[in-house]
C-alpha cells in the first residue's frame, strides 16, 4: 500500500492555518469567562493623617545576631552561654544606684596572716586548744670593769665577764579566744670570770633558770584604727642559781628573788607595718641573804618597736627595750650607785613555715647603755599545733 506524501507547499499551508483557527476559537471563550467572574475589591483602613513612608531598617550584620541564633551550639557550651545571657536577678534589680557594689568572687579562702608572730610571746595569737613550744639556743656576754686596789696599793681594774648559754624552753596554750597562758623554764650554762693583774679565776654553773608563768589577756581587740590592748600578768620563781655567794665570781642563772610582773602593750596594724609600744612594772620581793635583808629594787620597763611584713610569712622587726631598776636596799638602807638603767635594741627576722608547723626566729640584742648586757644573740625555733582532734592549728 502506498503512503501519500504531502508536498512542501501543503505542509507550510497547514502550519499557517492551525494557529489562526486556535486564536479564533480560544479568544471568544476567554472573554466570556472574564465577564462571568466576580470582581475582587481590596479596601484599606482609613488613615487619620497623611501617609508617610519610613525608610527600611538597616541590614543586620551576622555578628550582631544573638549567639544562640547565629551559631549552632553543642550540648556542652549551650547551658553555660545561656547563663551568661540571663537577665539580672531581682536582688540586683532592687539595688538602687547608690547601693555599694557587690564583692567580687573569691578563689578559695584567703591566705593566713602570720605577720604578728614576732609578738607571739606578748600577745594573744592562739585559739582555744592551740599550742606553741619554743626551743633554741641563746648566747649572752657582759663585761664590767670594777676598780680594785691591788696588794701594792695601786689602783687597777678588775674585769668581770659573765657568759650564759641557754636553751629557752617555753610553752604557750590558748585557753579562750582572749586569754593565752605561758610557762618559761630555761635550761643552760653560766660562767663568771674575774681577771686582774694579780689573779684570773672563773666559775661555772649549769641547770635550770628562773621559771616564770602567767597569762596574756586581750583586753580590747583593735578595730577602726584602734590598737589591740594586751595585758600580761605573771610570776617569777627563783629556781635558778643566784649570784649571792661568798665571792664575786659566783656564776648564776637566776635573780634569786620572787617577783610579780604586769605589762600593758598596745599594737597597731598598718598593713604591712605593725607598731607596738607599752610599759610594765616588776615587783621584786626582798629576802634574807647571809643574815641581812636584801631588796634588789623594783623594775619599771618600757618598749617601743615596729615590724615590717615582707610577705605573709616573713617579718622583720626591731624594738627598743628599756627599764629603770631602783636602788638595792640592805636592811632598809639604799646602796649608793645601785640604780640601773639598762637599754637594749633587739633586731629579729621571723619566718613561718605552715606546712612544717614551724617558726624560726634568729635575733640579736645590743646593749646601748653600760648597765645593759653587751650582746645577746641566738635563734628560737617554735613548733605549733592543736590539741583538738581534727582541728587545724593557727599559730
Domain chopping of the chain, boundaries? 117-146+156-386
Residues 117-146+156-386, CATH architecture: Beta Barrel (2.40)
**Average pLDDT rounded to a whole number, residues 118-133:** 94
Instruction: Give the CA angle between residues 195, 139, 381 to the nearest 5°.
Output: 170
User: What is the per-residue pLDDT across 65-113, written as a single tens digit (0 to 9) for each?
Assistant: 555 444 444 555 455 545 555 555 555 455 556 666 666 666 656 667 7
Task: Of 44-53, 315-324, 344-353, 384-393, give the lowest mean pLDDT range.
Answer: 44-53
Would the pLDDT of 355 be above 70? Answer: yes
Would the pLDDT of 210 be above 80? Answer: yes
**Average pLDDT rounded to a whole number, residues 304-326:** 95
Per-residue pLDDT band for 3 (boundaries 50, 70, 90) equals very low
**CB contact at 8 A, 196 and 156:** yes
Would the pLDDT of 293 be above 60? Answer: yes
% of the chain with per-residue pLDDT over 90: 49
User: What is the per-residue pLDDT across 316-347, written as a single tens digit (0 to 9) for each?
Assistant: 999 999 999 999 999 989 888 889 999 999 99
d(CA 361, CA 378): 8
Q: What is the mean pLDDT of the chain?
A: 80
Task: Of 91-100, 174-183, 184-193, 198-207, give the lowest mean pLDDT range.
Answer: 91-100
Q: What is the pLDDT of residue 127?
A: 93
Name the more confident of 346 and 33: 346
C-alpha cell at 393: 592549728
Would the pLDDT of 54 be above 70? Answer: no
d(CA 78, CA 309): 47
Task: Of 140-154, 198-212, 293-307, give the lowest mean pLDDT range.
Answer: 140-154
d(CA 325, CA 342): 8
Would the pLDDT of 14 be above 60? Answer: no
Task: Of 248-262, 292-306, 375-389, give the lowest mean pLDDT range.
Answer: 248-262
Q: What is the pLDDT of residue 145?
A: 79
| Three-class SS state of 22 | helix
Instruction: Give the CA angle between residues 84, 86, 87 to the nearest 5°.
Output: 125
**CB contact at 8 A, 185 and 218:** no
**Average pLDDT rounded to a whole number, residues 160-174:** 94
Per-residue pLDDT band for 2 (boundaries 50, 70, 90) equals very low
Amino acid at each position: 500500500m502506498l503512503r501519500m506524501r504531502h508536498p512542501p507547499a501543503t505542509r507550510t499551508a497547514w502550519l499557517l492555518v492551525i494557529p489562526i483557527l486556535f486564536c479564533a476559537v480560544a479568544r471568544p471563550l476567554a472573554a466570556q469567562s472574564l465577564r462571568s467572574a466576580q470582581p475582587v475589591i481590596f479596601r484599606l483602613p482609613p488613615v487619620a493623617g497623611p501617609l508617610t513612608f519610613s525608610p527600611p531598617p538597616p541590614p543586620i550584620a551576622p555578628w550582631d545576631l544573638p549567639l544562640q541564633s547565629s551559631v549552632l551550639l553543642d550540648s556542652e557550651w549551650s547551658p553555660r552561654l545561656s547563663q551568661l545571657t540571663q537577665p539580672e536577678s531581682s536582688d540586683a534589680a532592687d539595688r538602687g544606684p547608690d547601693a555599694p557594689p557587690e564583692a567580687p568572687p573569691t578563689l578559695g579562702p584567703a591566705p593566713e596572716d602570720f605577720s604578728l608572730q614576732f609578738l607571739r610571746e606578748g600577745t594573744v595569737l592562739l585559739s582555744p586548744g592551740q599550742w606553741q613550744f619554743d626551743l633554741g639556743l641563746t648566747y649572752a656576754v657582759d663585761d664590767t670593769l670594777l676598780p680594785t686596789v691591788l696588794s701594792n696599793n695601786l689602783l687597777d681594774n678588775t674585769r668581770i665577764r659573765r657568759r650564759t648559754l641557754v636553751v629557752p624552753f617555753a610553752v604557750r596554750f590558748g585557753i579562750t579566744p582572749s586569754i593565752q597562758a605561758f610557762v618559761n623554764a630555761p635550761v643552760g650554762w653560766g660562767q663568771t670570770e674575774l681577771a686582774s693583774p694579780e689573779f684570773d679565776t672563773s666559775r661555772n654553773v649549769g641547770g635550770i633558770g628562773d621559771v616564770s608563768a602567767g597569762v596574756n589577756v586581750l583586753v580590747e581587740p583593735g578595730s577602726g584604727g584602734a590598737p589591740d590592748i594586751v595585758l600580761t600578768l605573771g610570776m617569777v620563781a627563783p629556781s635558778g642559781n643566784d649570784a649571792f655567794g661568798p665571792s664575786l665570781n659566783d656564776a648564776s642563772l637566776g635573780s634569786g628573788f620572787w617577783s610579780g610582773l604586769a605589762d600593758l602593750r598596745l599594737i597597731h596594724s598598718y598593713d604591712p607595718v605593725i607598731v607596738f609600744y607599752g610599759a610594765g612594772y616588776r615587783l621584786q620581793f626582798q629576802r634574807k641573804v647571809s643574815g641581812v635583808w636584801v631588796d634588789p629594787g623594783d623594775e619599771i620597763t618600757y618598749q617601743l618597736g615596729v615590724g615590717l611584713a615582707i610577705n605573709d610569712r616573713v617579718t622583720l622587726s626591731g624594738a627598743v627595750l628599756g627599764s629603770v631598776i631602783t636602788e638595792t636596799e640592805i636592811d632598809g638602807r639604799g646602796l649608793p650607785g645601785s640604780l640601773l638603767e639598762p637599754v637594749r635594741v633587739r633586731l629579729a627576722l621571723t619566718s613561718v613555715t605552715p606546712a612544717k608547723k614551724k617558726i624560726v626566729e634568729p635575733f640579736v640584742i645590743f646593749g646601748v647603755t653600760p648597765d645593759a648586757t653587751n650582746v645577746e644573740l641566738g635563734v628560737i625555733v617554735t613548733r605549733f599545733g592543736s590539741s583538738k582532734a581534727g582541728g587545724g592549728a593557727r599559730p
